[in-house]
Amino acid sequence: MPKPVTSPVALGWPAASFDLPGIDGRRHTTDSARGPKGLLVMFLANHCPYVRAVAAKIARDTDALAPLGIGSIAIMSNDAISYPEDSFDNMKRFAAEHRFNFPYVVDESQDVARAYDAVCTPEFFGFDANLTLAYRGRLDASGRSPDPNARRELFEAMVQVARTGRAPVEQTPAIGCSIKWRRW
């Protein structure tokens, strides 16, 4: 079965505001997560094999982007009742295991995922200093493989955003596991 792929979307829309609880016991907002040069919003899920394959690279790239003024935050929007591997306690373990140095927050209502039109995990939304969408796509071409030689597409795009305020025109949509929507 093909995995969800984000569709090409128009860039240039403003970051949706959020205020979500983090695994660190604090609440995190769009403004608290942003850096002076931009914000990287990531939709992740602990159980997703695509996320598991690249978690170390996500940590590496967000650590490298922070000194360039790009803030990062990861949002877990999956239905953790149906997918207990994505529970709040498991989010804490997953973040510790992969040495996440950015807020990892839960979107229990799934309202933030809907506001961003998130489709899959991992999916990356890169905003410039004005919180205008400049990048939407994948980390790299490795997919479910931890290919250490894959070109760092997201990292390169966000470095360009930090330096010029604009991301590359060529962007590849994310591919991964679908967001696990709660059935109300």
The number of angstroms, rounded, from the C-alpha of 126 to the middle of its chain's C-alpha atoms is 9
- Number of structural domains, the chain? 1
Query: What is the three-state SS of 27-88?
Result: EEEHHHHCCCCEEEEEECCCCCHHHHHHHHHHHHHHHHHHHHCEEEEEEECCCCCCCHHHCH
Residue 4 lies in a domain: no
Residue 132 lies in a domain: yes
pTM value > 0.85: yes
Within 8 A by CB and 6+ apart from 102, the residues are 33, 62, 71, 72, 73, 74
Residue 13 lies in a domain: no
> 3-state DSSP call for residue 132?
strand
The separation between the first and the last C-alpha atoms of the chain, rounded to the nearest angstrom, is: 25
Residue 2 lies in a domain: no
User: Would you state the pLDDT for residue 148?
Assistant: 87
pLDDT digits (tens, 9 = 90+) for 47-87: 999 999 999 999 999 999 999 999 999 999 999 999 999 99
Residue 184 lies in a domain: no
Which CATH number does the domain housing residue 95 bear? 3.40.30.10
Domain that holds residue 142: 19-178
What percent of the chain has pLDDT above 90? 88
Residue 5 lies in a domain: no
